[in-house]
Structures are given as C-alpha cells and as structure tokens.
C-alpha cells in the first residue's frame, strides 16, 4: 500500500473521530472544563504556599507542569475510544474495508493529538489570564509546546496498546488512568523533587514525565534546558516506536479472522 493511501486513510479515520466531538456534548465539556479546573485550582490552592528556588512566581513553575499533566491525561481518550470501537464491532467493520489497518490506529492517535492541541489552547488562555507569561523566546515556547504534544502523542500509543488489551470500556478507563497518577505526581510537575525523600527523589528524577516537564518549564521561562531537551525527544520517539509496533501487532491479532 502506497504512502499516499496510508495518509488518506489515516486522515479519513481521524476525521471520523473528530466529527463525533461536536455531537458528544459531554466529551466537549470534559475536554474544556477539566483543564480550566486544573489550572485554576492548582494555581490558587497551592500558589500562596509553595516556594520553589529560582522562581519568584510559583505560577511560572506550576503552569508547565499543569500543561504536561492535562495533555498526558488527554491521551486516555485513545484507550477508551479503541475499547469502545471494539465493543461495538466497528473495528471489524473497518477491517473489512479496503484500507490500511495501521491507519485505523494512526487516525485514532492523530485525532486525539488534535484534541489535545485544543485542550492546550484552552489552558494557555486561562494561564495567561491568571498571570503566566512566556519569559523565553517565541521559538522556545513553540519548542516547549511541541515537546509536550509529542510526549502526549507517545502516550496515546501506550494507551492504544491498553485499549486493545482489555475486555471493556470500563476496564480501559481504569487501566488508562491508574498508572498516570503516580507518573504525574511523583515528578517535578508541582514541587521541586529535592523536597522529596531521597529514595522517592531518585524515582522522580528519572521519570520521563519529570524530564519532559523540566524541559518545557526551562524553555517557557527562558532558561537553558540542557540535555533534558534531547532526552525528552528520545523518550517520546522510543515510546512511539515500541508501543506503535506493539499496538499494530495487537490490532492485527485481535481482528484476525
């Protein structure tokens, strides 16, 4: 199958998922309200109590972590969506069509990436309203945002593997979220890892979520990102390579006649 066909099939499948959003008011509300709640609650609940060395304003430290957390949480749409399609028999119908099987999964993850871009824009507007500012260059801000979106796209492939491995939408929802809470909270998203117990700090510092968040935070605040920039890219590419391959193989096996 040619690359043009793969691209066309991918966009057709992505469009199918995107057209559902305006007709699903609950989904639209969740995608809009949740990031607003994260930004406002964390900023005002923790903003007056936490001091981070090197940051005069806690919002400048916090907001990149909130951006990262919300985008990561947004990747759960992939596991839930795939589990729902499988439970309704849509996956088998798509399999019967003359289209690329890989496009079914790529289209799903691309549509969720576009949904996450919308989520980020909502969060950004609210963050700016409460005082967050880009203190680095526009290029730095674009690179930081691109890294966050790339990481969320990588985790969508992790979620795709989960969605294809579970037996129901309910299980997909639980399995997709349960590992995200320790990943996002045992990190530098909300506090400096140096305030954690030694053994926990070691875990937090090697957490890829910490590395990506630190990189975005440095770039948004006009600080040097160092090697974290390249580690962020490598983590994202590595996760995509591993879990895209696993997901596509799982998809082919689960839909085999």
- Please write the tens of the pLDDT for every residue from 76-131: 888 888 888 777 777 767 766 666 777 888 888 998 898 889 889 988 998 898 88
Distance CA 3, CA 202 (A): 43
Residue 22's pLDDT band, with cuts at 50, 70 and 90, is low
Report how many domains make up the chain.
Answer: 1
Please provide the average confidence, as pLDDT, over all residues in the chain.
85
The C-alpha R_g of the chain, in whole angstroms, comes to 19
For residue 153, what pLDDT is reported?
A: 96
15 pLDDT above the threshold of 70: yes
152 pLDDT above the threshold of 90: yes
CA distances from 144 to 127, 224, 243 (A): 15, 12, 23
CA angle 236, 40, 32 (to 5 degrees): 65
Q: What one-character-per-residue DSSP string does 200-241 give? A: HHHHHHH-HHHHHHHHHHHHHTT---TTHHHHHHHHHHHHHH
Residue 56's pLDDT band, with cuts at 50, 70 and 90, is confident
Rounded to an integer, the average pLDDT of 33-48 is: 76
Residues above pLDDT 70, as percent of the chain: 88
For residue 144, what pLDDT is reported?
A: 96
Rounded to an integer, the average pLDDT of 182-211 is: 93
Picking from 70, 76, 72, the residue whose alpha carbon sits closest to that of residue 43 is: 70
Give the highest mean pLDDT range of 31-45, 170-184, 202-216: 202-216
Which domain covers residue 86, as residue numbers? 3-254
241 pLDDT above the threshold of 50: yes
For residue 257, what pLDDT is reported?
A: 41
- pTM of structure: 0.89
Q: 67-76, 117-126, 142-151, 248-257: which range is least confident on average?
A: 248-257
2 pLDDT above the threshold of 90: no
Distance CA 215, CA 187 (A): 13
For residue 52, what pLDDT is reported?
A: 78
Residue 256's pLDDT band, with cuts at 50, 70 and 90, is very low
């Amino acid at each position: 199958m040619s690359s043009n066909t793969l691209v066309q099939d991918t966009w057709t499948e992505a469009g199918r998922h995107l057209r559902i959003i305006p007709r699903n008011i609950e989904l639209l509300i969740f995608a809009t309200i949740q990031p607003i709640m994260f930004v406002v609650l964390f900023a005002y609940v923790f903003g007056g109590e936490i001091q981070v060395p090197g940051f005069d304003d806690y919002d400048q430290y916090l907001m990149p972590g909130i951006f990262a957390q919300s985008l990561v949480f947004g990747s759960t749409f992939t596991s839930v969506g795939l589990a729902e399609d499988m439970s309704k028999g849509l996956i088998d119908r798509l399999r019967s069509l003359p289209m690329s099987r890989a496009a079914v999964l790529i289209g799903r993850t691309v549509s969720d990436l576009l949904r996450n871009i919308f989520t980020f824009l909502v969060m950004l507007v609210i963050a700016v309203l409460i005082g967050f500012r880009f203190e680095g260059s526009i290029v730095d801000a674009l690179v930081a945002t691109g890294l966050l979106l790339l990481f969320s796209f990588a985790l969508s492939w992790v979620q795709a593997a989960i969605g294809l491995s579970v037996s129901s939408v309910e299980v997909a929802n639980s399995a997709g979220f349960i590992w995200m809470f320790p990943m996002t909270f045992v990190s530098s998203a909300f506090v400096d890892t140096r305030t954690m117990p030694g053994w926990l700090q070691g875990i937090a510092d090697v957490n890829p979520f910490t590395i990506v968040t630190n990189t975005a935070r440095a770039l948004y605040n006009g600080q040097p990102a160092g090697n974290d920039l390249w580690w962020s890219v490598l983590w994202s590419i590595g996760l995509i390579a591993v879990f895209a391959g696993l997901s596509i193989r799982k998809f082919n096996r689960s839909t085999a006649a």
